[in-house]
Amino acid sequence: MFGLNKKDGLLFLFVIAITLLAPFLLNPFPTDSAMAQFNAGYPDLLQRFAIFGIFAIGFNILFGLTGYLSFGHAAFLGVGSYAAVWMFKLFSYNVLPAIVFAVIMAALFSVLIGYISLRRSGIYFSILTLAFAQMSFALAYSVLSNPKFNLTNGETGLQVYDTDPQIFHREGLPDLPHLFGLSVRATYELNLGGWSFTFNLGYYICAVIMLIVFYLAIRLFRSPFGMMLRAIKSNNTRMTYTGLNAKPYTLAAFVISGMYAGLAGGLLAAMDPLAGAERMFWTASGEVVLMTILGGAGTLIGPVLGAGLIKYMENIVSKINDNVLHQWFSFLPDGFEDVMVTLIHPFVGKGWNLTLGVIFMLVVIFLPGGLVEGGQRIARLFTGRRGRAAKRKSTQSTPAE
């Protein structure tokens, strides 16, 4: 099945189903209900689920397989965004050439950074990547915004103006990112009873690309190259003693991971044609580390789950305020209602990061393998019960004929 073994093929089919049906699955509550605020099936958030899923999948190729922890992967995300916006400014709003150019520029940039950073390992490698990312942020924020050669437009961010050349732009094409004339913002609303579902072209572009790169990641994980990367993570010193040079493999993994990040950056710009230096800041690099560890480093679907959870909390939990809390606990007496609101208030709204921190601590302590390990434990719990029941049934004596 798709050149995959049965287990990986079923996983890939599961991811395809979840991705394509996301507008339904993430809108479980009627539009007019009090719980509708937990719906996440709107285009902007769905796009972010897919884009940051790509970012996390790529980071997992480096960290999950080789064990090299990069604190500077946001640099490639930013480079991809800037490259895509420059394609919009110079040529046209077609997202496909912009995404390809973003991947190419991220690949070149990652070769440069990886060649230098991979001369060291462990914490020294991590600090080097962090230093490069911060230098990239400083370049984008100030140095490259010099009026003489304004490549990044500083803190305002790089965007497309009416005075830009756009030499391939033609009459009749949308004045915003499009795929061969189809606007990425094109949407279709489907109303079924009290539910409303939105189908957005931009999301499905991101979703299809995510499925492609997820499939490529599976093939890479199961390839001899992937086994070599696991060997590097397991015992790099022993590999060196056998005469194998690990540096070309780690550099290749670094570049592939950087290309994934550049692809994610290009898609961010394609969905919203604006690129800012904040995408290169160290917090963006830390976020993808959290996504990967939270979902399960070294697993296939874990980084996607981690990215989805963090983006859900960032966009949904952060919007819960005191008014919403009072509505939830309005059935309680006034004194108890105020107590409950006071207790929960620090963990929602602007305090959503506190909730994320608590979840991350619990996962690291009790589920070192991330959310994937949690799912596996639950599955074993039920399969174990069925297995024990079947075993008891098979050992029961049958009456003699």
- Residues 97 and 159 grouped into a single domain: yes
Rounded to a whole number of angstroms, the CA Rg of the chain reads 24
C-alpha to C-alpha distance for 255 and 220, rounded to whole angstroms: 14
Query: What does the alpha-carbon distance between residue 90 and residue 166 come to, in Å, rounded to a whole number?
Result: 5
Residue 1 lies in a domain: no
**pLDDT-based confidence at 235, cuts 50/70/90?**
confident
Confidence of residue 228 (pLDDT cuts 50, 70, 90): very high
Number of structural domains in the chain: 2
Mean pLDDT of 274-295: 93
Q: Among 315, 347, 381, which residue terminates a domain?
A: 315
Mean per-residue pLDDT of the chain:
90
- Checking if the pLDDT of 65 tops 60, the result is yes
CA distance 97 to 295: 32
Per-residue model confidence (pLDDT) at position 387: 56
Same domain membership, residue 379 and residue 276: no
Is residue 397, in this structure, part of any structural domain at all? no
Using a cut of 0.85, tell me whether the model's pTM lies above it: yes
Split at pLDDT 50, 70, 90, the class of 379 is: confident
Query: 23 and 169: one domain?
Result: yes
Q: Is 383 domain-assigned?
A: yes
Same-domain check for residues 155 and 181: yes
Most confidently modeled range among 167-181, 214-228, 333-347: 214-228
Q: What is the pLDDT at residue 261?
A: 97
Residues 209 and 344 in one domain: no
Quickly state the pLDDT bin for 380 (edges 50, 70, 90): confident
Residue 391 has pLDDT above 60, yes or no: no
325 and 288, same structural domain? no
Same domain, 343 and 231: no
- Check residue 171 and give its pLDDT: 82
Q: What is the pLDDT of residue 173?
A: 85
Q: Which of 201, 203, 210, 211 is nearest to 180 (CA)?
A: 201
Residue 399 counted as domain residue:
no
Residue 396 lies in a domain: no
Closest CA to 217 of 260, 185, 174: 260
What number is the average pLDDT over the span 92-96? 94
Q: Check residue 238 and give its pLDDT.
A: 85
* CB within 8 Å of 395: residues ≥ 6 apart: none
Same domain, 311 and 359: no
Are residue 290 and residue 334 in the same domain, yes or no? no
**277, part of any domain:** yes
Tell me: do 104 and 230 sit in the same domain.
yes
Range of the domain at 219: 6-315
Based on the fold, state whether residues 258 and 376 are members of the same structural domain: no
Q: Long-range CB contacts (< 8 A, 24+ apart) of 98-102?
A: 98/177, 98/266, 98/269, 98/270, 99/209, 99/263, 99/266, 99/267, 99/270, 101/266, 102/262, 102/263, 102/265, 102/266, 102/269
Domain-terminating residue out of 288, 315, 342: 315
Return the DSSP state at 191.
Answer: E
State the pLDDT at residue 172.
80
Domain boundary among 278, 299, 315: 315
Whether 280 is in a domain gets the answer yes
Does some domain include residue 145? yes
Query: In the structure, what pLDDT confidence band is assigned to residue 8 with cuts at 50, 70 and 90?
Result: very high
Q: Does 196 share its domain with 344? A: no
CATH of the domain at 227: 1.10.3470
Residue 386 pLDDT grade (very low, low, confident, very high; cuts 50, 70, 90): low
pLDDT at 122 over 60: yes
3-state class (DSSP) for residue 198: strand
